[in-house]
A and B are shown apart, each in its own frame.
Chain A
C-alpha cells in the first residue's frame, strides 16, 4: 500500500499538575470537524486534557473516541464531566453533549483564552472551510465570513498536495521556503484545478518545493481576500490545523502586513477549547 503523506499525526495530552478530583467544576468541549476531531477537558477553567484525531465516517464515534483518548490515563471518566458542549460540523452528533454551539463562536472564545483578550481577528483554517471572525475583548463574535463553494484554502486542499508531492504534511510549510525565489501562486479558486496545474509544473521540471511554495502562496492569497472583506484589526491570530503550517501562516502575515500572535497552546484545539469554556459558563449558570 502506498504511503499516505497526508496522514497527520494524531495525539493527546494531559496535565501533570492538576488534581481533577478537588471539587472544581469539570467541563468538556468536543469539536467534530470534517477532517479532524478534538476533545478538550477543563478543570476549574484550566486546561486539563485534550486529544486530536481524524474524523472517520462515523461522527458520533469520532466524538466518543476523541473524548476517550483525551481522558486516557487521567483516571477521569465521562461521568465526571458536568457539562459538555459539542461544536464543529458534527456538533449534533456528539452523543454526550448538553448543548451545541457553532464552531465560529467557539473558535473566537477559544482564541480569546489561547492568545489573550487583545485578539480581535481570527482566521480559522479548518479541514474543509475557512472562517474569518471578528470578536470583542470577551471573545464574543461581532462579525464573521466563511469561504464559499470550494475547498481552496483549507486543510483538505493541503492534504491533497502533500499526497501529490509525496511530502509528509507536517513538513510542507518549512519546505515551501526552500526556493530560490517565490514562484507565482497556482490557481487559487479550486483544489482540483490547482492539482492539475501542479502536475503540469512538475512535468515542466519544477522542484517539488517550488510547487509547494506556489500552493502555499495560492492558499494565503485565497484567504487574504476573505480577511480583506471583513477587515483585519489587531491582534490577529490563526487557528485550526493550517495554523501549524508556517508556509501558509507567514505568507498570510506578509500579504496583510500584520504578524500573527503565537501561543503555547495547540492551535488546533481552539474550537474544542472554546466549547469547553462555554460549557463552564453554562454549567455555572445552570443552563
Chain B
C-alpha cells in the first residue's frame, strides 16, 4: 500500500536526479520547514528537504560545534560527502542557530549556484510578523525570478499555493483516519508518506496519496491496534525507531514534529495578496519551540492532538543539545501528565541505540497497560 512512498523515501537522491533530468528544472535543497515551498513550486523548482542519513560520519568536526545538535551535523555531513551534489540551490528559513550553522557551513564548503537565507521572524506572535515576512517573501520572489530568468505572476504563485494546499489537505485527511480505533495505517507507514512528501514533486505525490486514502477509506490496510502513542519533540525521521516502537506493541497515531504534522497541519487561506497569505500560513502554523513565544501555543496544540487521537502515552524526543526543545519539554511533559498521558523521554543522536531504547519503550508500554500483570 505504501510501496511507492517507501521507494521515494529510500531512493530520494535517485528520484531527484531523475526529476531533474526529466523536467530540466532546478532542484532546491532546503533546511527547515519554514521555507515557503509555494514560491518554489510557482517557479517550477523542486524543493527537496535536506535530512540526515542516520549513519556515523567523521566529516563535520572541523565545521560545526560538537555541542550542536546531531541532526544539523548529520545534514551538513550529507552536503560535505556530496550526497546532494545534484542540487542547484540551497536555502534556509530562520529557525534555530544550529541548523543555520549547517546551512552556513554548507554554502561555504559545497559549491552551489544559488543560496538564500530567508529571515523568517522568530517573534511570529508580533502584530508585525505577517507583514514583515510578506516583505521578505517579496524579496525572495525577486531573487528566485532573477535566478530562473523569469518573472513569477500572481497566477504562478496561486498555482504554487494550490499544489501545496492540495497535498497538505490530503495529509490532514490521512491523519484523520488515524483517529479511528484501529487505524489502517501504521506509524511507520505514515512516516514513509510524510518524509516522501518533503522531497517528491507534490504533483506526483498527491495522486498516489489520493489512491492511498481511497484504499484506507475503502477498508484496506492492516489493523494497528497497539497502545496508542504520539511522538513529539525535535526533528525525527528515524523510521527504524518507529518500526521498533510498533514492533513491541504500540501504534503511533499522531505526532508533533517537523517531519510530521507541523509540516502540513494548516493551509494557505484565500487572500488576494498571495504573499501575505503565504506569510500568514507560516506564521500561524503549529510552531516549533524556537518561535513559540511569548504565548506558548504548542502546549494547547499538543494536548488537543493527544485528546483528538486518544493517545495513551507520548514519546518525547530530543535531539541531543537541541536547546529550544530542551526548554519546552519539561512544560510539555507536565501538561501531558496532567491529562493522564504518560511520557517517555528519549535523547536522539545521529545513530539511535535501538536495543537500549527498546527496553525503555517496552517498559513504558507495560506501564501504560492496565493492571493485567497484578
Q: Which A positions have Cβ atoms within 8 angstroms of B?
A: 89, 101-105, 109, 129, 138-144, 146, 148, 278, 281-282, 285, 287
Contact = CB atoms under 8 A, between A and B. Distances in A.
Contacts of A142: 367
Contacts of B342: 143
B284 interface: no
Contact of A282 (B360, B363, B366, B373): B373
B363 A278 contact: no
A29 to B, nearest CB: 12
Residue with the greatest number of chain B CB neighbours at <10 A, chosen from A109, A129, A141: A141
Nearest to B366: A105
Nearest to A147: B356
A148 B347 contact: yes
Contacts of A281: 372-374
B363 A102 contact: yes
B371 interface: yes
B367 to A, nearest CB: 5
Interface string B154-177: 000000000000000000000000
A102 B366 contact: yes
Contacts of A101: 366, 373
Nearest to A102: B363
A287 B360 CA distance: 23
Contacts of A103: 359
Contacts of B362: 102
A146 B356 contact: yes
Contacts of B371: 138, 140
Contact of B374 (A102, A129, A138): A138
A168 B367 CA distance: 39
A282 B373 CA distance: 6
B337 to A, nearest CB: 9
A144 B342 CA distance: 11
A102 B367 CA distance: 10
Sort A-B residue pairs by CB-CB distance and give the 4 closest, nearest first.
A104-B363, A102-B363, A105-B366, A141-B367
B335 to A, nearest CB: 16
A148 to B, nearest CB: 7
Nearest to B345: A145
Contact of A285 (B360, B366, B372): B372
B165 to A, nearest CB: 42
Interface in B160-200: none
Residue with the greatest number of chain A CB neighbours at <10 A, chosen from B347, B362, B373, B374: B373
Nearest to A279: B373
Interface in B274-301: none
Nearest to B361: A102
A162 B194 CA distance: 52
Nearest to A129: B356
A89 B373 CA distance: 20
A281 B367 CA distance: 16
A127 B362 CA distance: 20
A115 B356 CA distance: 28
Nearest to B365: A102
A186 B356 CA distance: 26
B103 to A, nearest CB: 29
Residue with the greatest number of chain B CB neighbours at <10 A, chosen from A129, A140, A287: A140
A3 B223 CA distance: 58
B373 A278 contact: yes
Contacts of A129: 356
A104 B374 contact: no
28 contacts: A101-B366, A101-B373, A102-B359, A102-B363, A103-B359, A104-B359, A104-B363, A105-B363, A105-B367, A105-B373, A138-B371, A139-B374, A140-B371, A140-B374, A141-B363, A141-B366, A142-B367, A143-B342, A143-B367, A144-B363, A144-B367, A148-B356, A278-B373, A281-B372, A282-B372, A282-B373, A285-B372, A287-B372
Contacts of B347: 148
Nearest to B356: A146
A281 B359 CA distance: 22
Given A138-B371, A140-B374, A287-B372, A146 B360 contact: yes
